Amino acid sequence: MTDRSATIQRKTSETDVELTVDLDGTGRVDVDTGLGFFNHMLTALGRHGRFDITLRCHGDLEVDDHHTIEDCALALGQAFDEALGERRGIRRFAHAFAPLDEALARVVIDLSGRPAPVIDLDLRRDKIGDVSCENLHHFFVSFAHTARAALHVDVLRGDNDHHRAEAAFKALALALREAVARDGTDEIPSTKGVL
């Protein structure tokens, strides 16, 4: 069985990100981005996806949360892409629903090698904790680009924006867990023979 982990270092004038992801982990998560609510979302992603994630980000939070969330998402997507390699023997397609109390989210993913994010969180507040709601949308878009995935995220209902956002992250975790699962073959799951 091949190792499916990746370590990413992303350093810019705005952020310094160090990330390790193991797709075949147990859900051990150690995250510090400087943003409490974002840490909470990434922890949900790792735990429910059963991915081991270690992430440290020092970002220009004195400006705002945009660069931190964007660069963490880009690094996370890149780590998934690198850990999957040629994407041999994975299920590739998956979908998941996740509720959180009154909120319900649906994620459909294709690890196709072609980025195509379609995201509808329909968050109504400007911020949840220390995170701008527009940047939660941007997280999913940025992740899809570097993971090279078609990613559809829809929050179908919910009154509480914390619940709506968390349901979306949990649904992503469950869909990713299924999409990266080994299918017992060594085939690249594509009629083209490459992803």
Whole-number average pLDDT of the chain: 97
Domain 5-179 adopts which CATH fold?
Answer: Ribosomal Protein S5; domain 2 (3.30.230)
Average pLDDT over residues 43-64: 98
Global pTM value: 0.97
Does 1 score more than 70 pLDDT? no
pLDDT at site 171? 99
Find where tokens 């995220």 sit: 153
Alpha helices, H only, 25-160: 36-49, 66-84, 133-147
Q: Where are the beta strands (DSSP E) in the chain?
A: 5-11, 15-22, 29-32, 52-59, 93-100, 103-110, 116-120, 127-128, 131-132, 150-157
Amino acid at 31: V
Provide CB contacts within 8 A for 70, sequence distance 6+: 135, 138, 139, 142
* pLDDT tens digit sequence for 146-181: 999 999 999 999 999 999 999 999 999 999 999 999
Does 34 score more than 90 pLDDT? yes
C-alpha span between 131 and 124 (Å, rounded): 13
Q: How confident is the model at residue 47 (pLDDT cuts 50, 70, 90)?
A: very high
pLDDT at site 9? 98
pLDDT at site 54? 98
Provide CB contacts within 8 A for 40, sequence distance 6+: 129, 166
Contact yes or no for 48/174 (Cβ under 8 A): yes
